[in-house]
């Protein structure tokens, strides 16, 4: 499975630019698309999922164009939208059976098989006869994964899947995605750095509709090596630090305020070099928590 995004631009009504001139090649495995809210992630996901057509350029999924051959792509696609909803009066099993019907699976025994397999993958077997209105947010996301898996897709797109989930559900969801990725292509679109860090072997960062960086999480972390520092500062010094450096986090400790920041060289004498994380790299590339900093 291979996706080629070629010079893709999407312009909405009112000349609002969704994404501009994106070029990307994605192969099998877990691919993370990271970016702040409104960066254009969902636009790109929807274009790959054949829900939107690019204004300029084309996307090929295993050689099929989204412009010309969207049905062929749909046959190999599983999609969990950002805003996934369910029919509250149906049970999980009924809901999946209904969606299998909408997929065009007419044979009841084949449908049953597909529903059981999808329920199994998403860990819904024990609760499949419960009505969906009784499901928690995490359980509903599982139903979302199950419906995306009804066709055993080679391409799975999940858009902001962990938004609103509690930490335990998030971990469970990460594990589930890692388990099912196997020889598939799974695209995870999110603004939560931790989601990509724990699950993806390949990633890209997008902002204001443009691709900022394309790399693997370890390589991205490597690129900010030596640029992440921790400083213990007094309350009154905090504003000055914020003005001069890009601050990633501020944590109050017994000995003072621990400021984690980005700087090309040691910002103060008492600054300690910190080992960078993907979140540091993300802030470095995207522009950061306090973007308007003065010259270092």
Interface residues toward another protein, by CB under 8 A: 10, 12-13, 16, 18, 38, 40, 42-43, 46, 49-53, 71, 74-75, 77, 79-81, 83-90, 94, 97-99, 101-104, 106, 144, 147
Shortest Cβ 70–another protein spacing (Å): 9
Report the residue number, 49 or 122, with the smaller CB distance to another protein. 49
Shortest Cβ 107–another protein spacing (Å): 11
Shortest Cβ 73–another protein spacing (Å): 9
Shortest Cβ 156–another protein spacing (Å): 12
Report the residue number, 49 or 180, with the smaller CB distance to another protein. 49
Residues 115 and 95: their CA atoms lie apart, in Å, by 9
Q: Are 248 and 230 in contact (CB under 8 A)?
A: no
Residues 87 and 94: their CA atoms lie apart, in Å, by 10
3-state SS record for the chain: CCEEEEEEEEEECCCEEEEEEEEEEECCEEEEEECCCCCCHHHHHHHHCCCCCCCEEEEEECCEECCCCHHHHHHCEEEECCCCCCCCCCEHHHHHHHHHHHCCCCCHHHHHHHHHHHHHHHCCHHHCCCEHHHCCHHHHHHHHHHHHCCCCCCEEEEECCCCCCCHHHHHHHHHHHHHHHCCCEEEEEECCHHHHHHHCCEEEEEECCEEEEEECHHHHHHHCCCCEEEEEECHHHHHHHHHHCEEEEEEEECCEEEEEEECCCCCCCCCEECCCCHHHHHHHHHCCCCCCCCCC
Report the residue number, 42 or 277, with the smaller CB distance to another protein. 42
Shortest Cβ 103–another protein spacing (Å): 5
Report the residue number, 75 or 219, with the smaller CB distance to another protein. 75
Report the residue number, 164 or 218, with the smaller CB distance to another protein. 164
Shortest Cβ 222–another protein spacing (Å): 31
Count CB neighbours of 224 within 10 A: 18
Report the residue number, 103 or 169, with the smaller CB distance to another protein. 103
Shortest Cβ 112–another protein spacing (Å): 13
Report the residue number, 95 or 285, with the smaller CB distance to another protein. 95
Shortest Cβ 216–another protein spacing (Å): 26
Report the residue number, 24 or 278, with the smaller CB distance to another protein. 24
Residues 30 and 282: their CA atoms lie apart, in Å, by 18
């Amino acid at each position: 499975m291979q996706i080629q995004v070629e010079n893709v631009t999407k312009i909405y009504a009112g000349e609002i630019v969704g994404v501009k001139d994106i070029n990307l090649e994605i192969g099998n495995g877990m691919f993370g698309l990271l970016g702040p809210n409104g960066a254009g992630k969902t636009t790109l996901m929807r274009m790959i999922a054949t829900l939107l057509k690019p204004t300029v350029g084309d996307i090929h999924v295993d050689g099929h164009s989204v412009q010309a051959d969207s049905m062929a792509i749909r046959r190999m696609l599983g999609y969990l939208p950002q805003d996934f909803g369910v029919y509250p009066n149906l049970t999980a099993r009924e809901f999946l059976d209904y969606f299998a019907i909408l997929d065009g699976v007419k044979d009841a025994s084949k449908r049953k098989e597909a529903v059981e397999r999808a329920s199994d993958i998403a860990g819904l077997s024990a609760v499949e006869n419960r009505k969906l209105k009784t499901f928690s947010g995490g359980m509903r996301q599982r139903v979302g994964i199950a419906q995306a898996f009804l066709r055993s897709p080679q391409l799975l797109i999940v858009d902001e899947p962990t938004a609103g989930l509690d930490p335990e559900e998030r971990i469970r969801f990460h594990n589930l995605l890692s388990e099912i990725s196997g020889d598939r292509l799974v695209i995870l679109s999110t603004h939560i750095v931790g989601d990509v860090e724990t699950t993806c072997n390949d990633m890209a960062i997008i902002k204001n509709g443009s691709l900022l960086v394309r790399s693997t999480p370890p390589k991205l972390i490597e690129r900010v090596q030596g640029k992440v520092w921790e400083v213990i500062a007094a309350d009154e010094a905090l504003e000055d630090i914020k003005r001069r450096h890009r601050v990633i986090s501020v944590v109050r400790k017994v000995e003072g305020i621990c400021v984690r920041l980005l700087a090309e060289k040691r910002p103060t004498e008492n600054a300690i070099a910190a080992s960078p994380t993907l979140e540091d790299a993300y802030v470095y590339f995207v522009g950061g928590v306090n973007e308007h900093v003065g010259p270092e």
